[in-house]
Chains A and B, each alone.
Chain A
């Protein structure tokens, strides 16, 4: 934590390891791609924590390292140095099997291009993380409630290829929600949706945070999307370069202009 970059910005620095209020956190995290002249520091000594029940937007220009931050935080990718905690577990110490269990029980993912399983129906896609766990039972009431709120209750038996983009993304949201994960990571979840569909999706995510206390980390470069969040952090060239609470659209746009 000696890097100037991380001291300059006020971050919620977890004390040694992670505090109980942080569901996920990065400590001195760096990720380097390539070698020699072609080396890219996608993450450069980042320390950040995500609080339970908080909706955080990660913003920054394209190529700034937002996705890398999310992937490393969730254990989908390994850090070059530093640590990534989910709860108080350092994900870099987990085996592939343990990471799989972590993903299906503690984490939820929403991607820009949905990534539903074409062979499974919407219902089966939603229950996938729970079904993968031989011991776990699907909470059908919760599922029905999710489907109702998301407006996909009558499309549950359809295959993804029979759904519209917005419907697919709602299925993905339900899939991320169903195991009641500690944290949901969403990488540009509205990137492939029109503004109306985007708005509905963001409203729903907001509702999940407010009503269910869901923790969400959302990568986005959309100021409107960020304005739905409790907190926004700005990333540039792999470093944290700013942060704000309860951002408005104007705040975000100003900050972006300032950065570029």
Chain B
């Protein structure tokens, strides 16, 4: 039994090899995307080891507003708390985030990635609270000595014994590098580049208090209850709860990528399932005939099903095995690509068994189901009837399929409309899914219609053209799979291209055009830290040719009715605030005032943008309650402007410098606008810090979307993989479809058709198939992008940025892709020896 199955499989190996490749590619795509997703989610793991010794953590109370606590904002812990705990016999240390950017030997910022924070931390020696361990060299033993984490040391090429330089809020500093440290067994604290300094270093002097205090057993045993008694005004939680909170925070930071990769993994699973299913439906007639013949010679149904299952298992296992191996390699390639892009998403090396299990499930499970289902149906009827049905033309569009498609369309459309009106992202997502399903199910009907439309055109090419259009119609049910594969590929590309254009327009659009400055100075990296202290600002002011320096202090507040104002980008519920010299800013930025007057801005009288005014129905004179580190504050709208300053997240509120004081903001400025005929090199020299960039206006504007560009590069890389898989799927479907038809081709050839006529007839047939896939894919992309953006931007973006030229380019590329995928099978079939087929009968 098993022998015979293998023999049959071997006989059909050329037919199977592409199928196995298609399964393998799909599985590899699924496994590598899922592995990447889980390894990113797993990156917080070192925290568990690093802070194993932390028993209790003391944090400031959550700031409350309205009905409950505001997530993420905590009051600082007074320095006296640490003293009190130490005196009570506990081991306690206070932490506050201190900015420290390490420089490499060339004087450039080391380890500067968009994802990393650059901090200084006190070296805690043998204390169980110390998350770090020295792996080489010694610990910093006093002022002027420093250790750094192993990742930063490697990246910057810094060696023990050398003098390293770093920039803090106090300016450029120096220390001797005495040791290299690891964090919880890992090379670094996730997403952090750490400088370990002596505890007494001036950088650690707390101004407002500590962000949190870590506590361990000293002479007394630290319990949550015990510590809570000693610190009545604070929030006290166990070490393990705190670690879990930190890991959650890390994951929310990479949440965007995780979500994004998860979406891709789902896409991978869908693409994989579609392709594997295609492989079997397209050769249905051949299989039905084969099965019917075996039944004719007396094979029982049970024997037959066993054989089919074995055969499918063999195919599925072979493809899956190859796919898992390729997927394991592929995740490294993806990771390497992320590094090249400078995305440096940190990953753990753990291999998720779930990721592999899902890959195996799709590879083997879908293969078996896709193979067994038609076999089951074919063996349900009498053998002769099965034989006849294999020969007969398949019925026009299956009624069930059409009904299911119509239902999916109705539900999808309803969800899309609801999602767009209510700007509900989840319902919109369901709507997009419904639209996809409708197109997938309706593909054969669309192909039939297309075939009918092009029939007169094809008929002009003679009988081979007629055959092409007839076959399109006849085999639509089977070959629609190829169109669907292409549809998925094109809709993905279309969607993300539209996304890029739309977000790009949104980020750098109108608001950047209103900027009237000559230079913009800000910290390096794509998410600049507030790095412009007073010293730097005055150096800029006294630089040659500088007329005006407008510093922007960027912070954020939480709105009391946060849920109503969820905006684009991370930190939903929070509103960006720019605190500045409003009078000076008016020269640097060309405000379009829709209502009120900028003259009135002072204290808690602020400017808001039209979008905020719309979403919260704010008019001039209305008040708005917000919460910042200093507590709740009532702001009053003095003016409404069309757009506010560029940058992400865009500040929705602009206020005077005294607003900063009221909000409790006391960090350096993040951005400075420079007006005047100054020299770039002179400005750079005046700043004198490698951690700060001087950008011309043009450079600044293009830097606004560079973040997006990097992400898009990743998107396109993943897309390329998805599209290649889709193309292999198409090639497989096409070659199987053609192999079903070799007899017919031989008959036409014997009647005198040249191989060129056959070739072009096949190509035109599959190009029309591709056209259906490409056009429906593009349509889906447009609908999805429009609905998606409306929902995501709370109605701020009402339609996707459309560009006819790009659309045409995608159509042409899709058609070429489809033609390329069918080129080889069509060529082989048209060149095939007629006699091979005639003799076979």
Q: Does A161 contact B (CB under 8 A)?
A: yes
Per-position contact with B for A127-170: 1 when CB-CB < 8 Å, else 0? Answer: 11101111000000000000000000000000101000000000
Whether A132 contacts B471 by the Cβ 8 Å rule is no
A119 and B462 contact, CB distance less than 8 A: no
Does B392 make an interface contact (CB < 8 A)? yes
B838 touches A100 (CB 8 A): no
In the assembly, what is the distance between CA of A97 and CA of B470, in Å?
A: 25
Whole-angstrom CA separation of A120 from B1 in the bound complex:
40
Known: A101-B754, A113-B841, A161-B392. A119 touches B470 (CB 8 A): yes
Task: Using C-beta atoms within 8 Å of the partner chain, give the interface range for chain A.
Answer: 20 to 34
Interface stretch of the complex, out of B234-242, B268-276, B311-319, B740-748: B740-748
Inter-chain contact A120/B751, CB cutoff 8 Å: no
Out of B392, B744, B753, B839, which one reaches A104, CB within 8 Å? B753
- Taking a contact as CB atoms under 8 Å apart, the answer to whether B466 and A124 are in contact is yes
The answer to whether the Cβ of A115 comes within 8 Å of any Cβ in the partner chain is yes
Bound CA–CA A105/B392 (angstroms): 31
Bound-state Cα–Cα, A100 to B462, Å: 15
Residues of B contacting A117 in the complex (Cβ-Cβ under 8 angstroms): 463, 467, 744, 747-748, 751
- Tell me, yes or no, whether A103 is within 8 Å of chain B by CB: yes
With contacts A71-B835, A120-B470, A161-B393 taken as known, whether A131 is within 8 angstroms of B463 at the C-beta atoms is yes
A118 vs B463: C-alpha distance when bound (angstroms) = 12
Max chain A C-beta neighbours (<10 A), residue from B467, B471, B750: B750
Residue in B463, B466, B474 with the greatest tally of chain A CB atoms within 10 Å: B463
- List residues of chain A with CB within 8 A of the CB of B462: 131-132, 134
In this assembly, does A85 line the interface, its C-beta being within 8 Å of a C-beta of chain B?
no
Given contacts A115-B743, A120-B463, contact A128 B751 (CB under 8 A): yes
* Per-residue interface assignment for chain A, residues 88 to 110, with 1 indicating a CB less than 8 Å from any chain B CB and 0 otherwise: 00000000110011111101010
B86 within 8 A of A: no
For window 66-86 of A, CB contacts with B under 8 Å fall at 67, 71, 76-77
CB-defined contacts of A132 to chain B, threshold 8 Å: 462-464, 748, 751-753, 757
- Residues of B104-124 at the interface with A, using a CB-CB cut-off of 8 Å, are none
* Residues of the B chain whose Cβ atoms lie less than 8 Å from the Cβ of A128: 463, 748, 751-752
Residue on B nearest A113 in the bound complex, by CB: B841
Nearest opposing residue in chain B for A178, CB measure: B751
A198 adjacent to chain B (CB < 8 Å)? no
B750: chain A residues within 8 A (beta carbon) = 76, 103, 109, 111, 115
- Contacting A at CB under 8 A, from B443-467, are 462-464, 466-467
User: Complex: how many Å from CA A103 to CA B755?
Assistant: 13
User: Is residue A206 within 8 Å, beta carbon to beta carbon, of the partner chain?
Assistant: no
Contact A104 B835 (CB under 8 A): no
B752: which of A105, A111, A161 is its contact (CB, 8 Å)?
Answer: A105
Any A CB within 8 A of the CB of B508: no
Chain B residues 97-145 with CB under 8 Å of chain A are: none
Query: Which residues of chain B are within 8 angstroms of A129 by Cβ–Cβ distance?
Result: 751-752
Residues 727-748 of chain B: 1 if any A CB is under 8 Å from the residue's CB, otherwise 0?
0000000000000000110111
Q: Which residues of B contact A120 (CB under 8 A)?
A: 463, 466-467, 470
Interface check A217, CB cutoff 8 A: no
A116 interface hit (Cβ, 8 Å): yes
Asked whether any CB of chain A lies closer than 8 Å to the CB of B391, the reply is yes
Partner of B834, one of A76, A127, A134, A159: A76
How many Å from the CB of A206 to the closest CB on chain B?
A: 23
* Chain A nearest CB, measured from B389 CB (Å): 11
Report whether A96 and B467 are in contact in the complex, using a CB–CB cutoff of 8 Å. no
A101 touches B752 (CB 8 A): yes
A239 at interface by CB-CB < 8 Å? no
**A253–B790 alpha-carbon span in the complex (Å):** 87
Q: Which residue of A lies closest to B747 (CB)?
A: A115
The yes or no answer to B541 lying at the interface (CB within 8 A) is: no
Which residues on A sit within 8 Å (CB–CB) of B757? 100, 132
Q: A142 to chain B: closest CB distance in Å?
A: 17
CA distance A102 to B750 in the complex (A): 10
For A159, list chain B residues within 8 Å (CB).
393
Q: Is the CB of A103 within 8 A of B744?
A: no
A84 CB to closest chain B CB, in angstroms?
14
Q: Chain A's nearest CB lies how many Å from the CB of B761?
A: 10
Contacts of B841 in A (CB 8 A): 111-113, 115
Contacts of B467 in A (CB 8 A): 117, 119-120
- Bound: A153/B253 CA distance, A: 77
Q: Which residues of A contact B15 (CB under 8 A)?
A: none
CB of B797 to closest CB in A, whole Å: 48
Interface string of B817-836 (1 = CB under 8 A from A): 00000000000000000110
Chain B: minimal CB distance from A88 (Å): 20
Chain A residues, CB < 8 A from B470: 119-120
- Per DSSP, are chain B's interface residues mostly helix, strand or loop, or mixed? helix
The answer to whether B838 touches A111 (Cβ under 8 A) is yes
Count of inter-chain pairs, beta carbons less than 8 A: 88
Q: Distance (Å) between the CB of B836 and the closest chain A CB?
A: 10
| CA–CA, A129 and B839, complex, Å | 21
Interface flag for B301 (CB, 8 Å): no
Asked whether A116 and B747 contact (CB < 8 A) given A96-B754, A96-B755, the answer is yes
Which residues of chain A are near B756, meaning CB under 8 Å? 97
A22 proximity list for chain B (CB < 8 A) = none
Q: Report the nearest A residue to B475, measured CB to CB.
A: A119
Q: Among residues 389 to 412 in chain B, which have CB atoms less than 8 Å away from a CB atom of chain A? A: 391-393
A209 to B835, CA, bound (A): 27
What separation, in Å, do the CA atoms of A128 and B748 have in the docked complex? 8
- Shortest Cβ distance from A122 into chain B, in angstroms? 13
B466 touching A104 by the CB < 8 A rule?
no
What's the minimum C-beta distance from A97 to chain B, rounded to whole angstroms?
A: 5
Q: How far is the CB of B469 from chain A (nearest CB, A)?
A: 9
Which residues 471-493 in B have Cβ within 8 Å of A in the complex?
Answer: 471, 474
Chain B residues near A116 (CB, 8 Å)? 747
Minimum distance in angstroms from A72 CB to a CB of chain B: 10
B347 CB-CB contact with A under 8 Å:
no
Whole-angstrom distance between the alpha carbons of A135 and B462 in the complex? 11
Q: B residues 298-312 with Cβ under 8 Å of A?
A: none
A228 within 8 A of B: no
What 0/1 pattern do residues 150 to 182 of B give for CB contact below 8 A with A? 000000000000000000000000000000000
CB of B477, distance to nearest CB on chain A (Å): 15
Assess whether B391 is in contact with A161, with CB atoms less than 8 Å apart: yes
Query: A91 to B464, alpha carbons, bound, how many Å?
Result: 24
Q: Tell whether, in the assembled complex, residue A119 and residue B751 are in contact, meaning their CB atoms are under 8 Å apart.
A: no
User: Is A221 an interface residue, CB under 8 A from the partner?
Assistant: no
Measured between C-beta atoms, what is the minimum distance from A107 to chain B in Å? 8
Q: How far is the CB of A43 from the nearest CB of chain B, in Å?
A: 14
The chain A residue with its CB closest to the CB of B837 is A115
Min CB distance A177 to B, Å, is 12
User: What distance in Å separates the Cβ of A45 from its nearest Cβ neighbour in chain B?
Assistant: 21
- Min distance, Cβ B267 to any Cβ of chain A, angstroms: 36
Q: Which residues of chain B come closer than 8 Å to A131, judged between CB atoms? A: 462-463
State the Cβ distance, A179 to closest chain B Cβ, in Å: 8
State A113–B841 Cα separation when bound (angstroms). 7
Does B749 interact with chain A (Cβ within 8 Å)?
Answer: yes
A108's closest neighbor in chain B, by CB?
B751
Q: Which residue of A lies closest to B752 (CB)?
A: A104
Task: Specify which chain B residues have a CB less than 8 angstroms from the CB of A105 in the assembled complex.
Answer: 752
Q: A119-B474, A131-B463, A161-B391 are in contact. Are A100 and B752 (CB under 8 A)?
A: yes
Rounded to whole Å, the gap between the CB of A169 and the closest CB of chain B is 13
The interface residues of chain A lying within 8 Å CB-to-CB of B466 are 119-120, 124
Chain B hits for A100, CB < 8 A: 749, 752-755, 757
- Cα A97 to Cα B830 in complex, Å, equals 12
Q: A76-B835, A76-B838, A111-B841 are in contact. List 11 more A-B contacts (CB 8 A).
A: A96-B754, A103-B749, A103-B750, A111-B838, A115-B746, A117-B751, A119-B467, A120-B466, A128-B463, A129-B752, A161-B391
16 contacts between A and B (CB under 8 A): A76-B750, A77-B835, A96-B754, A100-B754, A109-B750, A111-B750, A115-B750, A117-B751, A119-B466, A119-B467, A120-B470, A124-B466, A128-B463, A132-B463, A132-B752, A132-B757
Task: Please give me the 4 A-B residue pairs with the lowest Cβ-Cβ distance, nearest first.
Answer: A104-B752, A100-B754, A119-B470, A115-B747
